[in-house]
């Protein structure tokens, strides 16, 4: 009698399953079949474990079989994203202004750039002498404040790392706030002694351009914020 009831229950379940699958669209049937296979294998495994005919570990492995295809497909789709994230960690991020193309490598905090306009167009910042960098700084201060701020970040990074102009920029242990008030004014593109209102306006203007949400970087935003905090 119990066996007859079991057969009857299986027959009713199969009939119901067949009526459901016939009503589904072709693209929905595949997903329904995979779900059906998963629950069928899981149910059979539970029964076998309960009756002592299968070890629980074997039941767990059996339940993974129907979803193995989905896991494999998900892995293939996720692989390009993982590769992209890996490249992002080691590749420099570029920030272009009117006069400079800056590169910041977040894996080692190195910063360098190329001059796009003016007397030193085509030159790398790390290749310019101290005198040339001062000339470039003065020119940018008058013509392009955004480029001027990026150049100050490069100069500050070099000075804290002990690098000299003409050497490659490097190092990664400099503190964002480890600079003087004079350097803070330079980062904001202001003259020493500028008013609080000028500092706030300069900070707001630079953050609108260099904030991470607007294509900037955490590195530059931190320097700009630290410069404002240093002066206010």
Residue 39 main-chain phi, psi, to 5 deg: -70, -30
Q: What is the pLDDT of residue 43?
A: 66
Q: What is the pLDDT of residue 152?
A: 81
Both tokens of 120, joined, read 């030193």
Above 90 in pLDDT, residue 191? Answer: no
Q: What is the pLDDT of residue 33?
A: 72
Is the distance from CB of 191 to CB of 185 less than 8 angstroms? yes
Is residue 108 very low, low, confident or very high in pLDDT (cuts 50, 70, 90)? low
pLDDT tens by residue, 115-146: 999 899 999 999 999 899 989 988 988 888 77
Above 60 in pLDDT, residue 49? Answer: no
pLDDT tens by residue, 54-106: 555 555 555 555 555 555 555 555 555 455 444 444 445 677 888 998 887 75
Q: Which residues of 45-68 are buried (b: 16+ CB within 10 A; e: fewer)?
A: beebbeeeebeeeebeebbeebee
DSSP summary character for residue 213: G
Handedness of CA 77, 79, 83, 89 (dihedral sign): positive
pLDDT tens by residue, 196-218: 898 888 888 877 776 666 656 66
pTM of structure = 0.41
Q: What is the pLDDT of residue 171?
A: 39
Is the distance from CB of 189 to CB of 145 less than 8 angstroms? yes
Which residues on adjacent β-strands are paired with residue 93?
A: 104
Average pLDDT over residues 26-42: 69
More confident of the two residues 109 and 76: 109
Q: For residues 116 and 83, what is the distance between their CA atoms, to the nearest angstrom?
A: 31
Q: For residues 109 and 107, what is the distance between their CA atoms, to the nearest angstrom?
A: 6
Q: Which of 6-20, 106-120, 165-179, 187-201 has the highest mean pLDDT?
A: 187-201
Domains contained in the chain, CATH given: 2-89 (no CATH), 92-231 (1.10.287.110)
């Amino acid at each position: 009698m119990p066996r007859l009831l079991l057969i009857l229950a299986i027959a009713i379940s199969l009939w119901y399953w067949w009526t459901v699958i016939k009503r589904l669209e072709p693209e929905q049937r595949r997903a329904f079949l995979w779900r059906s296979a998963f629950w069928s294998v899981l149910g059979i495994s539970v029964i076998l474990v309960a009756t002592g005919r299968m070890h629980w570990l074997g039941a767990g492995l059996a339940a993974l079989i129907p979803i193995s295809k989905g896991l494999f497909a998900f892995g293939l789709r996720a692989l390009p994203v993982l590769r992209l994230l890996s490249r992002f960690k080691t590749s420099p991020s570029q920030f272009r202004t009117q006069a400079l193309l800056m590169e910041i490598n977040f894996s080692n905090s190195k910063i360098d750039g190329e001059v796009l306009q003016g007397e030193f167009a085509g030159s790398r910042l790390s290749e310019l002498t101290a005198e040339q960098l001062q000339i470039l700084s003065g020119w940018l201060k008058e013509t392009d404040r955004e480029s001027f701020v990026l150049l100050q970040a490069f100069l500050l990074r070099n000075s804290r790392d002990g690098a000299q102009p003409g050497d490659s920029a490097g190092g990664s242990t400099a503190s964002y706030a480890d600079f003087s008030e004079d350097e803070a004014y330079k980062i904001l593109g202001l003259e020493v002694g500028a008013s609080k209102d000028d500092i706030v306006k300069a900070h707001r203007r630079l953050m609108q351009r260099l904030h991470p949400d607007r294509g900037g970087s955490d590195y530059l935003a931190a320097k700009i914020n630290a410069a404002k905090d240093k002066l206010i």
